[in-house]
Amino acid sequence: ELVQIFIAWTSASPICRQVEKSIITSRLEKWQSLRQPQPVPGVTAEEVATIASFWRSCLPSARQHIDDATWQHFASLLPALDLTTRAHAWALLWGEQPEITQQWLALAHMLQQTGHAGELAAPLSLLVDHFGLPAENFLTQMALTANDTQIDVVVHPVKEGRLLNAVSLSLDSLALLTRELVLTVENNVLDNVDLLDIPVAPDSHPHPLWRAKLGWMLAHYRQQVQPDVLVICNALASRSQTSTAARHLLEWVNATQPQHESALPGVVWAITPQDARFATQQNLDEAVQQLMGKPGVHWGTLQALDKHSMQRLVEWLSQATSAPQRQARLQALREQLRGRVRDLLPMFDDARLPVETVIRRLQAQAARHGDLLAGLLPPVQNFEALLRTRQSREEQVCGLFNDAIDLFADEPTRASASEGHETGYQAHKMWINHLRQWAHCRDNAQRLGLEPQMLNAVAEILITASYRLGLPQQLQKTMQREEVSGAQLHAIIGNFIAWLGYANIEEAQRPASRVQKGAAIFAATPRSTMLRLTKLDEQPVHAASRYVYDWLVALYTLANENAGYRHPQDVTDVDRAQLIALIA
């Protein structure tokens, strides 16, 4: 969680530059030798996955240079690193700024002091003074930041209901590390329901880390699928916050609320006498409501202006936060998540879309075909970065001989076992990782007017066909030449995407074009030897239209030819059955 706050802070800062992926990979490889024999408390592999998801939500797609494979490397390595090395690893996410890293490390040491306890027992004097009046030192961030003298406070970590040995923490750090302040009330209006007061990040704050924490709070509860209902009085303080507030609320709705119209809306605006529409005669929240979508499904409104309307609000909240309603909501979310997993894994035959359905949906969005092709190909800079990490020729010669090969084994070693160390094969794997991440991004699907399942289907067809047609071997063969550039690898994969493997196939062996009658797909237009003007067909076809429809025919043919193909290193039937049982 502390890492997420720093990501929220630095992702919006212009001074933090991105660290190249090749540097990240080399650092992670170097830190493998620093692994501890036992896991070091402070982070787990599941928490690293949550951090990866939050990092992607903070950065635009063009700046997301860390792929799934690298995040998997993070998840397997970081739980086994000591705190100092872990700080250097997290620093890769904010441009290795030493001041920011030291600030994170200081706060992480305080969490380590408490034994990473989830709860602390603190003295009541933090909240009230000797006269029983509210104390501002802890409750108000402005009072904390204005105090130049460091004040320490003694707290007790709480684990399993027991108070552990006392530790001393600075007051400002304790306030920054505190996520919730638990207070009890005498009379509960709603039985067995906790009320959360989630603050809103202001437009300006003297300390950007504090502002980042306030803006992160809703994201934290979204990750915990909480709360059951989000009650809003005023979502905006100024019009400049409209798009940001709407985006955060939509992210919360999509992550915590079932996507069916019979469910109660999870976001509710409570109209109170202190509402901005009465105080300032302006209803700024109306713009947020319009961006959030259909009223009554994604959001709703309830009045709390008098005693009778307040009673109706309490009755509605009692129903929305009841135990059966909560269980139904969580069960619906589980079903949605299970469906998304099945869409991502092609091993489920019933989850695969019919090829004809995919082609027809792509045909309906033919005007955006250029954007589709552009998204399928990673930038040339990725290939250039891959070549920069290529081993020297001397190291490659030494790598020809490996004493790990067992000459007396009953089964011969697979010839493709060394593929992961060859640059050509690495370029192919990098392209596959790009395809999968690009296809999994819902923003890309929305931009193309398609469903995410369609992008996953296209990516799966291309990946399978690339193995079947020997694209990795073609890339590796190119690497044997002198002075190979990243642009050459980029061009080879670009040609494969553009012509789908038919560039080097005779026209007589290609499928027939559905647009140019009597010609094959991607066939060159015959030139007339006559000096007279060329006679046009009754329905002339634009060259761009012909290419798009020929490409769709080629994709349809590839998908049918992929049927039954299986890579030698594909998941075995036994492992496939176990994986299906785990997920289904």
Closest to 167 measured CA to CA, from 132, 120, 118, 106: 120
Residue 44: which H helix or E strand, with range?
A: none
385 lies in some domain: yes
8 A C-beta contact, residue 186 and residue 216: no
Q: Which of 95, 112, 129 represents a domain boundary (last residue)?
A: 112
- Token couple for 520: 């094959």
For residues 442 and 572, membership in a common domain is answered with: yes
In the block, tokens 């070693």 appear at 413
Closest to 3 (Cα-Cα) out of 70, 86, 114, 112: 86
Question: pLDDT by residue (tens digit) across 383-415?
Answer: 888 887 664 333 444 444 554 455 555 544 444
> Do 448 and 573 belong to one domain?
yes
How far is 421 from 415, CA to CA, in rounded Å? 13
Residue at a domain's end among 252, 287, 321 = 321
**CB contact at 8 A, 471 and 506:** no
| 255 and 356 assigned to the same domain | no
Cα 228 from Cα 534, distance rounded (Å): 69
Encoding tokens for residue 48? Answer: 């690293």
Omega before 227 cis (within 30°)?
Answer: yes
CA distance linking residue 91 with residue 24, whole number of Å: 10
Where in the sequence is the domain holding 389, given as residue range(s)?
Answer: 345-399+418-528+535-583
Nearest one of 495, 515, 491 to 504, comparing CA atoms: 495
d(CA 571, CA 348): 13
Burial class (CB in 10 A: 0-12, 13-18, 19+), 463: buried
Residue recorded with tokens 């494969």: 496
* Residues 543, 463 within the same domain: yes
pTM of the predicted protein model: 0.77
Q: In the numeric block, which tokens belong to residue 319?
A: 């129903």
Give the integer Cα–Cα distance in Å for 325 and 319.
7
- Tell which residue, 205, 259, 200, has the closest CA to residue 232: 200
The crossing angle, in degrees rounded to 10, of helices 486-499 and 471-479 is 160
**Alpha carbon distances (Å) from 138 to 109, 163, 184, 291, 413:** 21, 22, 18, 36, 64
Task: Give the per-residue pLDDT at 288.
Answer: 92
330 lies in some domain: no
Rounded to the nearest integer, the mean pLDDT of the chain is 84
Torsion 4-10-12-17 (CA) sign: negative
Q: Which residues pair with 162 in a beta bridge?
A: 159
Q: Are 118 and 62 within one domain?
A: no
Same domain? 106 vs 123: no
Total domains in the fold of the chain: 4
Q: Report yes or no: 475 and 489 within 8 Å, Cβ to Cβ.
A: yes
Q: Which long-range contacts (CB under 8 A, 24 or more apart) does 436-443 make?
A: 436/68, 437/64, 437/67, 437/68, 438/375, 438/376, 440/344, 441/61, 443/61
CB atoms within 10 A of CB 236: 21
Same domain, residue pair 461 and 565 = yes
- Answer yes or no: is 213 within a domain: no
> In degrees, to the nearest 5, what angle opens at C-alpha 105 toward C-alphas 101 and 111?
150
CA 115 to chain centre: 30
388 and 449 housed in the same domain = yes
Tens of each residue's pLDDT in the chain, 584 residues: 899 999 999 988 877 788 888 899 899 999 999 999 999 999 999 999 999 999 998 988 778 888 888 899 999 999 999 999 999 999 999 999 999 999 999 999 999 999 999 999 999 888 888 888 887 767 666 555 555 667 889 999 999 889 999 999 998 889 889 999 888 887 778 888 888 998 887 777 778 898 899 889 999 999 999 999 999 988 887 888 889 899 999 999 999 998 776 678 889 999 988 887 887 878 888 999 999 888 888 899 998 888 899 999 999 999 989 999 999 999 999 988 888 777 777 655 555 678 999 999 999 998 999 999 999 999 898 888 888 766 433 344 444 455 445 555 554 444 444 444 588 898 999 999 899 888 888 888 989 999 888 998 999 999 999 999 999 999 999 988 878 888 999 999 999 999 999 988 888 888 988 887 778 888 876 665 555 655 555 555 566 888 999 999 999 999 999 988 888 888 888 888 888 787 76
Distance CA 165, CA 44 (A): 25
Quick one: how far is CA 361 from the chain centroid? 25
* 350 and 264 fall within a common domain: no
Q: Which residues pair with 301 in a beta bridge?
A: 269
- Tally of CB atoms within 10 A around 65: 16
- Cα separation, 460 vs 548, in Å, equals 19
- Name the region of 267 (left: φ>0; alpha: ψ -120 to 50; beta: rest): beta
3-state secondary structure of 504: coil
Q: Please report whether residue 133 resides in a domain.
A: yes
Question: Residue 285 falls within a domain, yes or no?
Answer: yes
Q: Are residues 393 and 514 in the same domain?
A: yes
- On whether residue 428 sits in a domain, the answer given is yes
d(CA 38, CA 345): 33
Q: Do 262 and 118 reside in the same domain of the chain?
A: no
Domain-embedded: residue 191:
no
Contact 422, 391 (CB under 8 A): no
* Among 183, 215, 244, residue at a domain's last position: 183
Which are the contacts of 347, defined by CB distance < 8 A and separation ≥ 6? 571, 576, 579, 580
List CB contacts of 428: < 8 A, sequence separation 6 or more.
Answer: 466, 471, 472, 475, 493
Please report whether residue 188 resides in a domain: no
368, containing H or E segment:
none
Residues 61 and 149 in one domain: no
| CB proximity list for 554: less than 8 A, separation 6 or greater | 499, 500, 501, 502, 511, 521, 522
